[in-house]
Structure 1
Amino acid sequence: MSTKVLAHRGFRSLYPENTLLAFQKALEIGAHGLELDIHYSKDGEIVVFHDFELERMTGQSGSIYDFTYRALSTMTLYQNNLKERIPSLKEVLELFSKFEREQPLSEPRILNIEFKAGSQFYPDIEERTLKLALNYLNKNQLIFSSFDHRALVRLKELDASVLTGALTTALLIEPWLYLDRIHADFYHPHYLTLSGDHLKGLLMQEVKINTYTLNDPQVARQLIDQQINAIITDCPDKILALFDEEVV
């Protein structure tokens, strides 16, 4: 098994996060996949954005779900003197599937869609997102993750064969037991929790690990050597370079 490199909110270290430009640039350099975040707009469009509040990325006050998609799409996202806009999930899926058709890798790319909240906050978002995503990609190309694990349970109720990943911030004791209980396929821990006996236990239990947000090549090298499933990173260029070193 070869560890995959998933670009966290796209090529976030150089381009405005969660934008078509950031996703395009990550795919162009050979990232094995993308990670992105979704919300509803006021009018129910599935939009790609990380925060509940708009201010950090747009300079405007207010919550993302209080604006229509048309209004959101006119807002400017700033980073590194670049100006981009908030895309819909449909737009990202169109871009992603175009790369799959025109510039395929040796293995299908992976799209990790993170629900910032489940249907208790955004009604039917799991069902609508799953239906939309499957119009563009195969199930084996999709991983649905969330800190709201109720969303993962709901996805499995909709289709037991879809792939889900449980996001955590703190170290869990024997997480494989919890993953089994919620039928999650992947464990998405912060990389700082992957050390010593904890990592050893995960590997012994054959837990599929997709760790975030790892930008340190030295630490990434250690986890690649342990053959974890995926590294989610703001710096896909730096982590991909480790694979070039293997060839040399």
Structure 2
Amino acid sequence: MKNVCIFAHRGSKGTHPENTLSAFEEALRSGADGIELDVHLTKDGELAVIHDETIDRTTTLSGYVKDYTAEELKMADAGVKFSPSFKNEKIPLLKEVFQWASGTSLIINVELKNDKFPYAGLEEKVIELIRGYSYEKRVILSSFNHESISIAQKIAPEIESALLFEGLPVNFEEVLKTKQGAGFHPALAALTKEITAKAQTLGCKVRPYTANLESDIIYLLELGVEGLFTDFPARAIRLASKFQEGKN
């Protein structure tokens, strides 16, 4: 029985403000194998950890990430909208998360958020930072922009990459074949036993997103996926442990 890798989606997003250091700390405390986070480029070329292209939904400021400098983004409160108890949480920079993670063994899935805005040089900047921290074996680069993954694979073939899919194209197997070695990160709703088997036959690690309900987590465990993304890592870890005990 293989162990499934539990990734805390945007940190422990279900219990803490997403993509903040407190959410990543909670993921670590819960025993998650890894964290998933999103990166955008700021006006001054820094790598900001935030999901949306805009800062409106999760912070007290508004506008596009790309129109703010890193210093200006630090003026936004990224915690209070989730709960007053998280007031004064900041939007972290990727280098700050990497520095924090240096005392851990967490795998870090960095999603390149260039599917809406084509941030020039995003891949190079992220890879340069990964190499600076010697995290080549600890990071997975993923994106819905599959051309971005091609660029990343060319620059840094030693860093694991993965293709994100919202819906699956009919020719998804051909797409996977063209990105040799990339992981397969589909939406939970699109995944079946047959699709899982096809991807695994191609040598792809299957890691669906986002499994929060107990029934969904158990479904994925029964499919034999290599990993899964969840907003509630403590829940997924408990269920995975229980599932494994039942199989042994």
Q: Structure 2-normalised TM-score?
A: 0.90
CA distance in 1, matches of 2:49, 2:229: 17
- Matched position secondary structure for 2:51: coil
TM value normalised by structure 1: 0.90
Report how far residue 180 of structure 1 moved: 1.8
Farther-moved stretch of structure 1 (31-40 vs 76-85): 76-85
Aligned to 2:11: 10
Deviations 1:34-84 (A, max 9, x none): 000001111111110000111101142210110111110121012122221
CA root-mean-square deviation: 1.9
Does 2:204 correspond to 1:207?
Answer: yes
Task: Summarize the alignment of residues 231-242 of structure 1 with structure 2, pairs less than 5 Å apart.
Answer: 231-242=228-239
Question: Would the aligned equivalents of 2:6 and 2:227 in 1 still touch at CA under 8 Å?
Answer: yes
2:86 matched to 1:89? no
Inter-partner Cα distance in structure 2 for 1:121 and 1:200: 33
Instruction: In structure 1, give the amino acid aligned to 2:210.
Output: T
3-state SS, counterpart of residue 76 of structure 1: coil
Q: How many residues align?
A: 240
Q: How far apart, CA to CA, are the structure 1 residues paired with 2:135 and 2:34?
A: 14
Among candidates 111, 123, 128, match of residue 125 of structure 2: 128
CA shift at 1:244, angstroms? 3.1
Gaps in structure 2 of 5+ consecutive residues: none
Partner of 1:56: 57
Deviations 1:125-151 (A, max 9, x none): 111111101222432211100011111
- Mapped to 2, the partners of 1:197 and 1:180 lie a distance apart of 17
Which letter maps to 1:113? V
Q: Which residue of the other structure, out of 230, 235, 242, is the alignment partner of 2:227? A: 230
- Are 1:18 and 1:36, in contact at CA under 8 Å, matched by a contact in 2? yes
The percent identity for this pair of structures is 30
1:7–1:34 Cα contact (<8 Å) kept:
yes
User: Secondary structure at 1:53's aligned position in 2?
Assistant: coil
CA distance 1:166–1:193, change in 2 (3 Å) = same
Query: For the residues of structure 2 that align with 1:31 and 1:229, how far apart are their CA atoms?
Result: 14
Corresponding position of 2:142: 145
Match for 1:117 among 110, 114, 118? 114
Whole-angstrom CA distance in 2 between matches of 1:184 and 1:152: 11
**For 2:158, which of 161, 166, 184 is the aligned residue?**
161
- Quickly say closer, same or farther: Cα 1:160–1:214, change in 2 above 3 A: same
Change (3 A) 1:220 1:206: farther
Contact 1:97 1:137 in 2 (8 A): no
8 Å contact from structure 1 (residues 14, 80) kept in 2: no
Runs of 5+ consecutive residues of structure 1 not aligned to the other structure: 101-108
